[in-house]
Chain A
């Protein structure tokens, strides 16, 4: 019998702990596939964050390092600077990257660290039970914004891709989502291109993936996909913000 689909070797055989309908799982698969297809899996060192993907070190089938909350880019910097021939990536949530770890991601990009970051933006603190994130939309309810995010009180959500694209050291910046097969294919392409930027030694790359959190948003998996498309994409436009000219 011909094999039409095979699970990537980039992921281990452990069942993940993600909630039903959570798109963290799809993003893991895309990262695993990209590592395998680019031939860097056996040379890769991944850095897991603190957040729902804290256990990513069990799921990616390569050497892994579990960082403190927000510090993954600094840990990855330490690894890449002493092992420049390894492929080094971080996988981080929006609380991790856009709040507590803002300094670390901005300066890793600014130094042009030759690492790749997968940034999973679900507009909420998933792991700790649905508190407001810096990315939570205005009006969106969270356990620490029970009346909805109020712009006058805590500002508008932060757009990290746009911010990072202004930094010279950041060579690849793209925002994608995984709410449909077409989007999944585009996301895969972006991750591959981002990883190539590191492989070719060009500098820092990041792919922001708009992701769902049905559990804390309080929607079904299907409603969540729709809510993301209708509410997140208008504020967080999809597309490429930056790529090295030669790769274009």
Chain B
């Protein structure tokens, strides 16, 4: 298929429809409203349903119902709205239902700002709702990858019966880039024989539920969930690395920030510095093992984020004290510049190339 120029938020909608998602429940919030607007326009054309809910709480619970009924379904929001969705996300994870949730992050805490940020990393990767659960968290760095990850995200969700979150920021939602809609690699997806469809008198009732009153049963359920998360950790890690075996300094960054880091690295290379990049594409499961490949004589790892240091925790876990870990972040909707990153890298070099 030929490439088309699309805005990130609209590309999400087109990719979801391409993936067979015909149902969308949402609530307006900047900087992602183009997505529900796109769905409101396009879904009726494919026999689907777009519904603007009365709140994000209702929207995610509509997703909970629709996912339980066995269809591909999506919702999207930005940070404050995603906070409201945490209740439903926890239930969806507990009841083991597939769905895709998009968070186009903005600055916080509270109402914060409408500018791009990466301040919901903890919430996304540590489980913002109650209970011991995990979301698969995918962090695209360009519109093509955004499209690819949405399409594959639906497959991942169905394969593991688990909610998948696409974690982007206002920048990726608003930028326009050429994209192509490609088929993902084929996965063996299980039948949804657990869905609420009405028994039609042919089977026992199906029950969608996250309640286990007996502690023994709930512990068993949690063990099952953990076994599933382990399989996801083993099979679904995605990461892109650049020159890490050889680098004197390695930058760790994801999403929009990784693009800025790339620009900084090119300029540093022209000046003779050897700088590598680890760009996690899955934030959960996190690509901890990738950090083992870093040049053992590397002077330090620089984590760059649009927050005050959240992925930093995972980088420290991954590095296991083998290298010094540094951090550079801008927040509040401020975006780090290549020059700021260059300065920081030179500081780590300590004057000697």
Give min CB distance, B100 to chain A, whole Å: 14
Interface stretch, picked from A57-65, A91-99, A193-201, A230-238, is A57-65
Interface stretch, picked from B59-67, B117-125, B276-284, is B59-67
Residue A103 is within 8 A (CB to CB) of chain B in the complex: yes
- Given A74-B58, A103-B58, A107-B58, answer yes or no on A65-B65 (Cβ-Cβ < 8 Å): yes
What are the residues of chain B within 8 A of A55 when measuring CB–CB? 211
* Contact across chains for A65 and B205 when beta carbons are under 8 A apart: no
* Contact across chains for B198 and A76 when beta carbons are under 8 A apart: no
Give min CB distance, A65 to chain B, whole Å: 4
Main secondary structure of the interface of B (DSSP, over half): mixed
* Contact across chains for B51 and A71 when beta carbons are under 8 A apart: no
Residue A158 is within 8 A (CB to CB) of chain B in the complex: no
Q: Which of A60, A79, A87 contacts B68, CB < 8 Å?
A: A79
* Contact across chains for B57 and A66 when beta carbons are under 8 A apart: no
What are the residues of chain A within 8 A of B54 when measuring CB–CB? 103-104, 106-107
Count of inter-chain pairs, beta carbons less than 8 A: 132
Give min CB distance, B60 to chain A, whole Å: 8
What are the residues of chain A within 8 A of B67 when measuring CB–CB? 78
Residue A140 is within 8 A (CB to CB) of chain B in the complex: no
Interface band, chain B: 35 or more
Chain A 14-50: CB-based contact to B (< 8 A → 1; otherwise 0): 0000000000000000000000000000111101000
Chain A: which residue is nearest B202 at the CB level? A42
Residue A52 is within 8 A (CB to CB) of chain B in the complex: no
* Contact across chains for B25 and A78 when beta carbons are under 8 A apart: yes
Residue B87 is within 8 A (CB to CB) of chain A in the complex: yes
* Contact across chains for B65 and A76 when beta carbons are under 8 A apart: yes
Residue B160 is within 8 A (CB to CB) of chain A in the complex: no
Give min CB distance, A16 to chain B, whole Å: 14
* Contact across chains for A77 and B62 when beta carbons are under 8 A apart: yes
What are the residues of chain B within 8 A of A107 when measuring CB–CB? 53-54, 58
What are the residues of chain B within 8 A of A79 when measuring CB–CB? 65-66, 68-69, 196
Residue A81 is within 8 A (CB to CB) of chain B in the complex: yes
Chain B 188-228: CB-based contact to A (< 8 A → 1; otherwise 0): 00000000111111000111111100000000000000000
* Contact across chains for B58 and A71 when beta carbons are under 8 A apart: yes
* Contact across chains for B71 and A82 when beta carbons are under 8 A apart: yes
Interface band, chain A: 35 or more
* Contact across chains for B62 and A81 when beta carbons are under 8 A apart: yes
Bound-state CA distance A106–B53 (Å) is 12
Residue A68 is within 8 A (CB to CB) of chain B in the complex: yes
Bound-state CA distance A42–B206 (Å) is 11
Give min CB distance, A185 to chain B, whole Å: 28
Residue B137 is within 8 A (CB to CB) of chain A in the complex: no
Query: 22 A–B contact pairs at CB < 8 A?
Result: A44-B198, A65-B65, A67-B64, A68-B64, A71-B58, A71-B64, A71-B88, A74-B57, A74-B58, A74-B64, A75-B62, A77-B65, A78-B23, A78-B61, A78-B65, A78-B69, A79-B65, A81-B23, A82-B71, A83-B196, A86-B69, A103-B55
The 10 A-B residue pairs whose C-beta atoms are closest, nearest first, are: A78-B65, A74-B61, A78-B62, A75-B65, A78-B66, A107-B54, A63-B196, A71-B61, A43-B198, A74-B58
Q: Interface of B with A (CB < 8 Å)?
A: 23, 25, 49, 51, 53-55, 57-59, 61-69, 71, 73, 87-88, 91, 95, 196-201, 205-211
Known: A42-B201, A78-B25, A78-B62. 10 other contacts (CB 8 A): A42-B198, A64-B205, A68-B64, A71-B58, A71-B87, A74-B65, A79-B65, A79-B66, A104-B57, A106-B54
